[in-house]
Amino acid sequence: MRLDLIDGFPAPLDGLTARDIRDVLPNPTLIEIEGERPEPLFVSTLLHGDETSSFRILQRLQAAYGEARPPRSLLILVGNVDAAAAGERFLDGQPDFNRIWSKGAGAHHAFAERVLRTAREKRIFASIDIHNNTGRNPVYGCVNVLRPADLQLAATFATVGVYYLNPSTTQSIAFSRLCPAVTLECGRSEEPEGIEAAWRLIETTLRIDSFDAAPPPPETLKLYETVARIIIDPDCSFSFDEADADADLVLCADLEDRNFVDLAEGVLWGRVVGGGMPIKAVDEHGRDLTASFFRLEGDAIIQAAPGAPSMITTSLNAIRRDCLGYLMRRA
Ligand SMILES: [Zn+2]
């Protein structure tokens, strides 16, 4: 698998969309831009081809530093250009480009290893990997190490953060072994708030000499960790519309608005028609935690312990393919 290395920005990206990326960058590419401070800021874009806020950041970086010298060097990864051209997360036959950053056989792991080796040789200062969600979420940064510098990156980006160690094969987990690292979840693709917050963080990080030795004050970052993944019984038909008479399960229409809202015990999630508990909470090892987090009261599904939902989506497709969302607690 090819990885192109270029010094300086490619032909202008202005006026293009992520779907046009291969007109300018036909292969995954590392772009090196020399700046005042030599240790580069690593910026990772388009690891998921349909998450296009990172393409907007790439355009902004080119507009800002195509001519002018940045205050710190940049090493920019443009990841899955084939999936971006198709508007997909990744293509059939490809792995997920944010699950290839561990030891493994095959061309994609070798690609990730080359990127990591280059980053290590350049003695990168920090790593920022840019993503989007499908559901309505506030912007939030994910960290994998509770170091002051990583927390500072997350807190500079947003007031909500997530700490995770699973899945262990992501870009930010691999890069957190080299330098402070953060994954930015910029809301849904193209939402201006997420793009602005990501840009602010990049501009700030390019201008600092070093990270603070002390962690950011706790009131500046609400940090969560995942307790359970919420899935819907595959045999159960469901809907977010109370008028849907055919659904076995009608979920509350405003569920998506509760992402990263701390909920008390007793909150309604939905109503079941046929009886039984059609939603399940499982931890990262696949253990069933449903009884700890949900109970049935008549036909009502009630949250049985405090916790904040996250990444709840109303996309029926995403729920069937992946999950309804997650339950979080304060880390
Ligand atoms: Zn992503």
Q: Are residues 127 and 250 in the same domain?
A: no
Q: Are residues 16 and 124 in the same domain?
A: yes
pLDDT at residue number 277: 95
Instruction: Tell whether 184 and 243 lie within a shared domain.
Output: no
Query: 3-class DSSP state for residue 73?
Result: strand
Range of the domain at 40: 4-220
CA of 232 to the centre of ligand 1 (A): 22
The last residue of a domain, from among 191, 220, 249 = 220
Query: What's the CA gap between 262 and 277, in Å, rounded?
Result: 23
- Sign of the Cα pseudo-torsion (135, 137, 143, 149, in order): positive
Q: How far is the CA of 271 from the centre of ligand 1 (A)?
A: 31
User: Is there a contact between 251 and 239 (Cβ–Cβ < 8 Å)?
Assistant: yes
State residue 252's pLDDT score: 96
CA of 223 to the centre of ligand 1 (A): 20
What is the rounded distance in angstroms from the CA atom of residue 73 to the CA atom of residue 5? 15
**Ligand 1 centre distance from Cα of residue 118 (Å):** 22
Distance 246 CA to ligand 1 centre (A): 33
Q: How far is the CA of 155 from the centre of ligand 1 (A)?
A: 20
Q: Quick one: DSSP state of residue 192?
A: H
Residue 303 pLDDT level (bands cut at 50, 70, 90) = very high
Q: Look at residues 152, 187, 220 and tell me which one is the last residue of a structural domain.
A: 220
CA 41 to ligand 1 center in whole angstroms: 20
22 and 140, same domain (yes or no): yes
**How crowded is residue 278: how many other Cβ atoms within 10 Å of its Cβ?**
22
What does DSSP assign to residue 189?
T
Q: What's the CA-to-centroid distance between 218 and ligand 1, angstroms?
A: 27
Distances (CA, A) of 83 to 44, 46, 57, 299, 320: 15, 9, 18, 43, 21
Cα 133 to averaged position of ligand 1 atoms, centre (Å): 7
Question: Do 160 and 179 belong to one domain?
Answer: yes
- Mean pLDDT of the region 191-215: 98
Cβ pair 142, 127 in contact under 8 A: no
Percent of the chain's residues with pLDDT above 70: 100
Question: In terms of domains, do 178 and 230 share one?
Answer: no
Q: Is 114 left (phi over 0), alpha (psi -120 to 50) or beta?
A: alpha
Helical ranges in the chain per DSSP H: 21-24, 53-65, 81-86, 107-121, 148-157, 171-175, 192-207, 290-293, 316-321
The total domain count for the chain is: 2
**Statement: residue 134 has pLDDT above 90:** no
Q: Does residue 275 carry a pLDDT above 90? A: no
Q: What is the mean pLDDT of residues 282-309?
A: 96
Distance from residue 132's CA to the centre of ligand 1 (Å):
6
